[in-house]
Structure 1
Amino acid sequence: MRLILDHIKKQFEDKQVLQGAGFTFEKGKIYGLLGRNGAGKTTLFDCLSGEKNMDGGQVLLEENGRTRKISEQDVGYVYSLPILPEFLTGFEFVKFFMDINRNKLQMEKSIDEYFDMMSMTAEDRHKLIKGYSHGMKNKLQMLLFLITKPPVILLDEPLTSFDVIVALEMKNMLKEMKSDHILIFSTHILQLASDLCDELVVLNKGKLSSVPSELLQSAEFEQSVINLLKDESHAENT
C-alpha cells in the first residue's frame, strides 16, 4: 500500500504554503515529518485529511494493485489539540462511537479490551473526558483508530504531551501498527524522530524531501536536517 502525493498546492491569500509538494509514503514504515514553525506541516495534514481543500495536485492511495483518490474515511487524524465531547466519559464516548459504526466496521474486540490495549484504567475510562489530561485525550483518539483501522494515520505532535512511561507505550504501539498502516507524524524533536522513525521527510519552502536513511543513526544526522531547514524563511504558524 502506498500514499502518493502529487504536486500538492495550497495558498492563503498571497502566501504559497505548499508549492507542488510530492512524495510517496509506504505501508510498513513510520515517517517523521519535520519542518520549522510555519513550514506548513499542519496545512499538509489538513489537506490530506480533507479538512482543507487543495488548490492543486492530488492525493492517491495505491492498494492491492489499484490506485484511487483518497477519501476522508481512509485517513485517521490525531490532532495536536484533541477535539472530544468533554461531557461524556471515555467509556461512553467509545461505546457511542462503536455503536454508530457497528454496521460499517468489523469489531474485533470488546470495548474494555480496546481500553486495555491503551493501558487506561477502569477509573480513567469511566471519568469525564473533561477531566482527562492532554495525553489521555490523545490516547483516546488513538483508541478510535485501533477500532476503525484507517489505512493512513496522521499524528500532529503526538508524543509531546505524554509522560515517559506513556510515551514509551505509544512508541511501541506505533511500531506494532506500522505493518498495517501508513503512519506519518509531525514533530520538532529530532531525538524522537531518530528514535522512532524509519524515514524522515522535511517540508521546506513548500516542498517535501527525504533525509537519507543512512543518516538517521549517524553523527551527522542533526546537522544534515539543520542544513535542509536553515534557509527557510517562514516564521508564522500555519
Structure 2
Amino acid sequence: MEFCIEHVAKSFEKKRVLKDIDFVFEEGRIYGLLGRNGAGKTTLFNCINSDISVDGGEFYLLKDGSKIQVTPENIGYVLSTPTVPEFLTGREFLRFFIDINESYISNIRPLDEYFDIVSLAKEDRDRLMKDYSHGMKNKMQMLINMIAEPDILLLDEPLTSLDVVVAEEMKQLLRSHKDGRITIFSTHIMDLALDLCDVIVLLSNGELEIVDKENMDEKEFKSKIITALKEEGAADER
C-alpha cells in the first residue's frame, strides 16, 4: 500500500503554504515530518484529513494496483493537544468507541487488554477523564487510533509535552504498530524524529523532500537538515 500526494497546493491569501507537492509514502514505515514552526505541517495534515480544502491536487491510496480516494475512515489523527470527552471515564469512552465502530474493528478484545497496551493503571480506568493528566489523555487518544487500525496515521507533535516515561511508552507503541499502515509523525524536534522515525522528510518552502542519510554519520545528517531549514528561514525573510 502507498499513500500518494499529487500536485497538492494550498494558499492563505497571498501566502503559498503548500506548493504543488508530489510525494509517495510507503506502508510499514514511520515518516518523520520535520519543519520549522509555521512551515505548514499542521496545514498539510488538515488538508489530508479534509478539515480544510486544497486549492488543487489530490490524495489517494494505491492498494493492490487500485487507486482509492482517501476518506476520513482511512485516517487516524492524533493531535498535539488531546481532545477526549471528559465527562466519561476511560472505560466508558473506550466501550463507546468500540460500540459505534464495531463493524470496522477486527478481533475485538476485552477492554482491560486495550488499557494494558498503553500501560494505563487499573485504578485510572474508571476515573473521569477530566481528572486525567495530559499524558493519560494522550494515551487514550493514541489507543483509539490504534484500535481503529487506519491506513494512515497522522501524529501532530503528540509527544512534545509528555514526560520522559510516557513519551518512551508512546514511541514503543508506535514502533510495534507500524506494520500495515503509513505513519506520519510531525515534529520540529530533530532528535525525536531521528530516534523514532524510519524516514526523515522535510517540509521546506512549501515542498516535501526526503533527507537521504546514505554515507553520512549522525552529525553530518543533522547538519544537512539544519542547513536546509536555515535556508528556508532566509528565504522567508527576503
Q: Is the 8 A contact 2:76 2:145 kept in 1?
A: yes
Structure 1 residue runs without a partner (length 5+):
none
Residue aligning to 1:160: 160
Number of aligned positions between the proteins: 235
Deviation digits for residues 21-74 of structure 1 (CA, Å, limit 9, x no counterpart) = 221111111100001111100000001111111111100101122111111110
CA distance in 2, matches of 1:211, 1:76: 25
Q: Is the 8 A contact 2:28 2:179 kept in 1?
A: yes
Return the offset for 1:216. 7.3
Return the offset for 1:107. 4.0
Residue aligning to 1:58: 58
Matched to 1:152, the amino acid is: I
Q: Is the 8 A contact 1:199 1:213 kept in 2?
A: no
Residue aligning to 1:117: 117
Q: Is the 8 A contact 1:198 1:213 kept in 2?
A: no
Alignment TM-score, normalising by the size of structure 2: 0.94
Give the alignment's Cα RMSD to 1 decimal.
1.6
Stretches of 4+ moved more than 4 A in 1? none
Structure 2 residue runs without a partner (length 5+):
none
Residue aligning to 1:100: 100
Residue aligning to 1:141: 141
Residue aligning to 2:89: 89
CA distance in 1, matches of 2:56, 2:215: 32
Matched to 1:204, the amino acid is: S
CA distance in 2, matches of 1:167, 1:121: 16
Identity of aligned residues (%): 50
Deviation digits for residues 141-170 of structure 1 (CA, Å, limit 9, x no counterpart) = 111122110010000112122222222211
Return the offset for 1:196. 1.1
Q: Aligned pair in 2 of structure 1 residues 94, 173: CA closer, same or farther (>3 Å)? A: same
Residue aligning to 1:77: 77
Matched to 2:8, the amino acid is: I
Matched to 1:203, the amino acid is: L
Q: Is the 8 A contact 1:194 1:216 kept in 2?
A: no
Query: What secondary structure is seen at the aligned counterpart in 1 of 2:6?
Result: strand
Return the offset for 1:213. 3.1
CA distance in 2, matches of 1:231, 1:210: 16
